[in-house]
């Protein structure tokens, strides 16, 4: 069977590091908007569901999975800490409460830049935990609160099937699951495998009664993810690459083997995956759109935000070392979005953000059962 090189997000392609003009730290305000809009939901979930009076120790252990770099992860952690401090004070608990925070992302993540922006020493004890969150990262029953925002839609790898040139699932000339139901099904199957790994790992790491607070982009039940505005934007990005093939800037073979490892789940699908794991209670789950009151976006800003998230993946696959080629690609993307403003009409939008608060059941994790 003729296969292209399997694309694993794995350890090589995190968000752009540093504080430069194309860095994630300077270009992630859409993610920040979603987190800010969910702040009250997260606070209420902690206040309602965290049993702070019966912690296993006086140290509350928090992990942010897919932290990347910049202010977003720090603000999310600060919100959790301030909420638990408020609970502690309101209940007039005598025992001193300390906080240990673990920042997790791929090994290539720019942890150095992240750590230079940590708050005043003494606020909490911080540590970086490199590695994929689709597998184990902590000892058994270590964490009280697990948090993840705008990370779970990233797949651990591009599905192998879409790399097979002899298969009807081969995604020739496209970079996502647009126009081909078999490609979508391959992406969906990969997402399910990834979420099985994620939930199994967290089931072992989170203490009984501990919470998992999740934010991820999703789409409406009853619609294919390829019908969303976001997926159509990815299609435009793929057409930019094909334009660059036509002028000799990148190779067509490289485009044929390039696929974006992102997937939008639906509330129904996500709920089924949580329930299939069997170790978590869904305490709260709802959808919201933090962008619904906005006018048309600044397309150059939107393209730069996309660049901050995908430039490493793109340059690594195509072997692009020259900045002007990347500039050309993302400038074309901005122009094509500006020519297709109907994609940004809120009446046509089928995507939103899913918020889920899960509580770890006081049941033993059966590794053999959960891997069947």
Listed residue (62, 102, 105, 84) closest to 212, CA to CA: 62
Tens digits of per-residue pLDDT, 232-253? Answer: 999 999 999 999 999 999 999 9
Q: Identify the domain containing residue 96 by its residue range.
A: 24-360
Q: pLDDT digit string (tens) for 269-291?
A: 999 999 999 999 999 999 999 88
Q: What's the chain's length in residues? A: 372
Virtual torsion, Cα 197, 200, 201, 206, nearest 10 deg? 150
Nearest in space to 344 (alpha carbons), one of 261, 229, 253, 249? 229
Dist. CA 119–CA 113, nearest whole Å: 13
Nearest to 202 by CA among 106, 76, 66: 66
Residue 5 has pLDDT above 50, yes or no: no
> Distance between CA 117 and CA 242 in Å, rounded?
40
Mean pLDDT of 332-351: 91
In this prediction, residue 12 carries a pLDDT of: 52
Any idea what DSSP says for residue 289?
-
Q: Is residue 6 part of a domain?
A: no
The backbone region for 272, taken as left when phi is positive above 0, alpha when psi lies in -120 to 50, beta otherwise, is alpha
Is 2 within a domain?
A: no
Quick one: CA dihedral 67, 68, 74, 76, positive or negative?
negative
Report which listed range, 75-84, 120-129, 157-166, is most confident: 75-84
Measure CA 176 to chain center: 17
pLDDT at 3: 38
Retrieve residue 191's tokens. Answer: 């997402």
Q: What is the mean pLDDT of the segment spanning 161-188?
A: 87
Asked whether residue 19 is assigned to any structural domain, the reply reads no
Residue 78 maps to a domain? yes
Q: Are 62 and 77 in contact (CB under 8 A)?
A: yes
Kindly tell me the sign of the dihedral angle through the C-alpha atoms of 125, 131, 132, 138.
Answer: negative
Segment 64-74 shows an average pLDDT of 94
Q: State the CATH number of the domain containing residue 344.
A: 3.40.50.150
317: CB partners within 8 A, 6+ apart: 7, 254, 257, 258
- Tell me if 249 is assigned to some domain: yes
| Total tally of structural domains belonging to the chain | 1
- Phi then psi for residue 130, to 5 deg, are -80, 145
Rounded to two decimals, the pTM is: 0.93
Instruction: Write out the two tokens for 22.
Output: 């194309």
- The mean pLDDT of 100-120, rounded to a whole number, is 93
Name residue 211's beta-bridge partners. Answer: 145, 359
Question: What whole-number distance in Å separates Cα of residue 358 and Cα of residue 49?
Answer: 9
- Tell me whether residue 16 is in a domain: no
Mean pLDDT throughout 196-201?
98
Q: Could you give the CA distance from residue 101 to residue 61 in angstroms, rounded to a whole number?
A: 6
Paired tokens of 326: 């990347």
Within-domain flag for 368: no
Domain presence at residue 232:
yes
């Amino acid at each position: 069977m003729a296969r292209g090189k399997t694309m694993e997000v794995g350890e090589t392609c995190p968000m752009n590091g540093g504080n430069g003009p194309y860095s994630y730290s300077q270009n992630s305000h859409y993610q920040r908007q979603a987190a800010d809009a969910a702040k009250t939901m997260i606070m209420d979930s902690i206040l309602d569901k965290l049993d702070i009076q019966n912690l296993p120790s006086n140290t509350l252990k928090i992990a942010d999975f897919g932290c990347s770099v910049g202010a977003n992860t720090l603000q999310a952690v600060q919100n959790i800490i301030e909420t638990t401090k408020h609970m502690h004070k309101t209940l007039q608990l005598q025992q001193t409460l300390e906080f240990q925070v673990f920042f997790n992302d791929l090994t290539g993540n720019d942890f150095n830049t992240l750590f230079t922006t940590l708050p005043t020493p003494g606020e909490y004890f911080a540590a970086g935990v490199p590695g994929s969150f689709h597998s184990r990262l902590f000892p058994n029953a270590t964490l009280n609160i697990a948090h993840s925002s705008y990370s779970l839609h990233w797949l651990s790898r591009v599905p192998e099937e879409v790399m097979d040139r002899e298969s009807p699932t081969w995604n020739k000339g496209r970079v996502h699951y647009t126009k081909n139901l078999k490609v979508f099904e391959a992406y969906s199957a990969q997402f399910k495998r990834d979420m099985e790994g994620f939930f199994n790992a967290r089931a072992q790491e989170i203490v009984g009664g501990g919470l998992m607070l999740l934010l991820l982009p999703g789409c409406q039940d009853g619609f294919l993810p390829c019908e969303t505005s976001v997926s159509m934007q990815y299609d435009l990005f793929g057409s930019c690459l094909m334009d660059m093939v036509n002028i000799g800037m990148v190779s067509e073979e490289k485009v044929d083997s390039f696929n974006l490892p992102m997937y939008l789940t639906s509330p129904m699908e996500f709920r089924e995956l949580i329930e299939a794991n069997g170790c978590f209670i869904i305490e709260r789950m709802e959808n919201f759109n933090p962008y619904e009151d906005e006018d048309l976006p600044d397309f150059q800003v939107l393209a730069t935000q996309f660049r901050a998230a995908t430039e490493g993946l793109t340059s690594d696959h195509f072997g692009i070392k020259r900045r002007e080629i990347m500039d050309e690609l993302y400038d074309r993307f901005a122009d094509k979005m500006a020519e297709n403003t109907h994609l940004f009409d809120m009446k046509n939008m089928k995507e939103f953000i899913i918020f889920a608060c899960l509580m770890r059941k006081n049941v033993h994790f059966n590794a053999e059962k959960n891997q069947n």
